[in-house]
Each structure stands twice: as C-alpha cells, then as structure tokens.
Structure 1
Amino acid sequence: MGDGVTKRTQADMIREALADRIVHGFLRPGEALDETTLAAEFGVSRTPVREALRQLEANGLALSRPHRGAVVTTLSEAELDETFVVMAELEALCAKLCAQHLSGAALQDLMALHHRGASAAAENDIMAYRIHNERFHTAIYAGSQNEFLERTTLAVRRRLAPFRNLQFEGSHRPKASHAEHAVIVDAIIEGDAERAAAAMRKHILIVRKAVDDVAPESVGSTIGGARS
C-alpha cells in the first residue's frame, strides 16, 4: 500500500512538471513524451511516468499513439477551429459577466493586472508575457462570478494551452495581444457587457489565426496521427 501511495505521488509530481512545460511552451504540440527518457530525468521507474502520461491524456494535454508512445496533443485544423470557437464563446461570456458584476476595487485590480503586462509586451518578453497572459485570462474567468463557467473555461483552456502559447512567437504578438486586452478591460470598466463579449470573442479568434501564422506545422494532422 505504501508503494502505491509513493507511485501516485511521483506520478502527480511528474504530471505537474510536464503540464507546466506544455502550458508554457517548452514542449510543443506533436513533441514526443518518451517514457524511458522521462524516467531517467526524474529518477523513477517507468510506472509513475506511464501514470503521469495517462493523467495528461485525461486532461487533453497528451495523446497516446499505439506502439509509438505519447506525444503532446496535436489537433487537426478542423478540430482546432471547433475548439477555438467554443473557447471564444466561453471567454466572451466570462467577459460579459465581468462587465455586469465587477465594481469598485475589483475593477481597479483588473486594470492594475492589465497594466502589469505592459513592460513584457513592449519588450517582446515572450516568457514573461505568457505568464501575464495566463493570469489575465484567469482573472476574467474568476470575475464572471460563475464557478461552473470558470471551471469549464479553464478546462477548455488547458486543452488549447500548447497552441495558445505558440502565438507569442509571432512578430510582436505580445504587444498586439496587450492592445487587444486593453479593449476588453475598457469595456468591462465601462460596464458595457456586449462590447466586452465582442472584444473577447474577437481576441480569441485572432489568437486562432496567430497559431497558424506562427506554426502551421502544428496543425493539419489528425489526433490519431500526430507528427513525430
């Protein structure tokens, strides 16, 4: 029983480490997740690595290929389009509810959070802006004051995280993203729910196009046939 607890703890640790690498762009869509290599890196047997990969699959961040091991999730172009459409509508609803519910100090906090991303955007500091971007969108989800919507939106975001992170490798994409965020924040502060929703929807669909512009090779393959 003790061994089982140890293995679960190791698996959770490995899953969290790999998920962090995927979400922050260190592991890219289609990249292999080799059990033997990972076991050596983390100093464990292949059993907790295998369990960690299963957990990543359950979260939509990895894909197991028969007889070829696991890779970071790759989606076909159609699947990516469909998922981004859902993402855009969920985030638009979050922004709409923020505009309806946030007031006072909460609005000031959102504005301050947005401004904290300015330097990373201006300097094209991709890693710093990725972190800021995640915090910004997470704050919008929480600001909806709808826990079910927040959980649902976070789940879809995890599915798209590897692709959303790719966008920032485009020319001055952090600066453009920050400008798009400003339109969303202004609408929320003014309490204009429909404009906030429209601005967020437009932003997410711009992100979808940016993924193709930066790394068209990351799409176009089916879930069952990721590029190696």
Structure 2
Amino acid sequence: MNALPVMPPAEAEAPSQAEAAYRQLRDKLIMLEIRPGEPINDGQLAAELGFGRTPVREAIKRLEVDHLVVSYPRRGTFATNVDFTELADVSEIRELLEPLAARRAAKRASSAMRQELLEVAATIATLDPSPAESRDLMRYDLTVHRLIYKAAANPHLEDTLIRYDNLATRIWCLVLDKVPSVSGHITEHVELLKAVAAGDADKAGELALHHVTSFEETIRKVL
C-alpha cells in the first residue's frame, strides 16, 4: 500500500506551535487514538507531542469549541463520547453543505489546487488495501474532504465542514471493526476529485451528496 500522508496537503503550511498542537490533537481525537471518555492531561500530551504546555492548553480550548473535548469543574478534561444519535443531525447538515463545497471547488479551485486534487486521486486509484489498513485509509478520507473544502475558497464554509466531517469520521472510526471494508468508501473519491479538477460542478455536487448519503447508510447497517 502507498505511504499515507502524515498531514493532509491542505494543511501543509508551517503552523505556529499552538496550531500544530491543535491539529495533531484534533486528528488523534478524530481517529480515536485518544479514545472517547479518556482524560486529557495537558502535561503528558505536551511531553508526547514535543510542545510546551501553553500551546497544548490553547489547543485544548479550541478542541472544546469543536466538541471533541469537554471540561468539567474539579474533574478535568476528557475526550467527548461518540454519540450515534447525532448521526442524523450531522448527516443532514453535510448533505446540504458537502455538495455546495464540491460545486464551489469545481468553479473556484486554482490551477495548482486542481493539480493537487488529481495527484491525490491518482494515489487513491493505485491503492490495494487490506482490511487491516482501514484506519489508515480513513486518513485519505480526511485528506480529500479538507482539500475540497479549501478549494471551495470560503473560509466559513471550510471551518463548518471540517467540524462536521470530524464528528462523522469519529463515528465511522468507532464502527470500523464492524464494516467489512472501507476501500469502496475511499476509492469513490477518485471520480469526485476528477470532477472537481475538471470544473464539472454539477457532477461534483452529485458525487459529494452520494458520498455522504452512502456513509450514513453504511453506518446504520452496522449499528
């Protein structure tokens, strides 16, 4: 299997320490490397990630806004639980906004961004994954979505969709062991990326909607 990107291309610029800590902790929470309900120890995380406590504390404050961690007086801070009852609400929002982002990206992406989309599509098309690599494959899902959001060139839309995609990905990761394979969910991104890169807004919107609805259907089958 091809080497996976450590960080999605859309976030490849050099960040501040607080931003870097936020991104690393966010993705650990999304991918359930920090399990739901697990306590968040800023000192321990600072040591693990190689940051000072201040940037980690700033990151944790942002993660509270993202609903990925929750703080209780006199108890501490914890990774939020994954609530399957939120699936319908999250999906409802994504079914409206994901096609919008894909259509905007098809119309507004720069030539450099279109090339990047095609490169990611080519990489995904060559994947020959095994079931054991399902969690790694989900990182490609994050990469694709974040690239499209960035290409849509609307920072408010991008921030909103990242937040809801993060919540959806946590739900997906919690049931990965029950899903026979996620390879189809990942490889269907190839046509979506190509449609966006080609500037075909209608097709991009249709494929984005299908991707979101099929995600919800898959989750409901295994719950």
The normalised TM-score by structure 2 is: 0.69
1:147 equivalent in alignment to 2:148? no
Report what 1:107 is aligned to: 114
Structure 2: any 5+ residue segments left out of the alignment? Answer: 1-16
1:24 equivalent in alignment to 2:58? no
Judged with a 3 Å threshold, the aligned counterparts in structure 2 of structure 1 residues 187 and 64 are, in CA distance, closer, same or farther, namely same
User: Percent of aligned positions with the same letter in both sequences?
Assistant: 23
Deviation at 1:154, TM superposition (A): 2.0
Report what 1:157 is aligned to: 165
Deviation at 1:11, TM superposition (A): 8.9
Report what 1:61 is aligned to: 68
Judged with a 3 Å threshold, the aligned counterparts in structure 2 of structure 1 residues 138 and 22 are, in CA distance, closer, same or farther, namely same
Q: In 2, distance between residues paired with 1:40 and 1:191?
A: 46
Paired letter, 2:92: V
Q: In 2, distance between residues paired with 1:198 and 1:39?
A: 46
**Equivalent of 2:217, from 195, 199, 209?**
209
Paired letter, 1:111: L
1:82 equivalent in alignment to 2:75? no
Deviations 1:72-120 (A, max 9, x none): 3235444221112212322211111122234755433212112212444
SS in 2 for 1:26: coil
Paired letter, 2:63: L
Paired letter, 2:139: I
Q: In 1, distance between residues paired with 2:23 and 2:108?
A: 33
1:171 equivalent in alignment to 2:177? no
Judged with a 3 Å threshold, the aligned counterparts in structure 2 of structure 1 residues 203 and 16 are, in CA distance, closer, same or farther, namely closer
Deviation at 1:158, TM superposition (A): 3.4
Q: In 1, distance between residues paired with 2:147 and 2:141?
A: 10
Paired letter, 1:183: E
Q: In 2, distance between residues paired with 1:51 and 1:182?
A: 36
Q: Which moved more, 1:64-73 or 1:129-138?
A: 64-73
Q: In 1, distance between residues paired with 2:23 and 2:106?
A: 33
1:193 equivalent in alignment to 2:192? no
Q: Is the 8 A contact 2:134 2:181 kept in 1?
A: no
1:33 equivalent in alignment to 2:39? yes
Q: In 1, distance between residues paired with 2:174 and 2:125?
A: 20
Q: In 2, distance between residues paired with 1:82 and 1:211?
A: 14
Report what 2:136 is aligned to: 128
Paired letter, 2:201: A
SS in 2 for 1:63: strand
Q: How many pairs are equivalent?
A: 201
Q: In 2, distance between residues paired with 1:191 and 1:128?
A: 29
Q: In 1, distance between residues paired with 2:59 and 2:170?
A: 17
Report what 2:3 is aligned to: none
**Equivalent of 1:137, from 121, 145, 153?**
145
Q: CA RMSD in A?
A: 3.6
Deviations 1:197-226 (A, max 9, x none): 121112122223334445x3xxxxxxxxxx
Structure 1: any 5+ residue segments left out of the alignment? Answer: 1-9, 217-228
Q: In 2, distance between residues paired with 1:100 and 1:42?
A: 41
Q: Is the 8 A contact 2:94 2:212 kept in 1?
A: yes
Paired letter, 2:208: M
Q: In 2, distance between residues paired with 1:195 and 1:156?
A: 22
Judged with a 3 Å threshold, the aligned counterparts in structure 2 of structure 1 residues 99 and 41 are, in CA distance, closer, same or farther, namely closer
Deviation at 1:17, TM superposition (A): 5.0
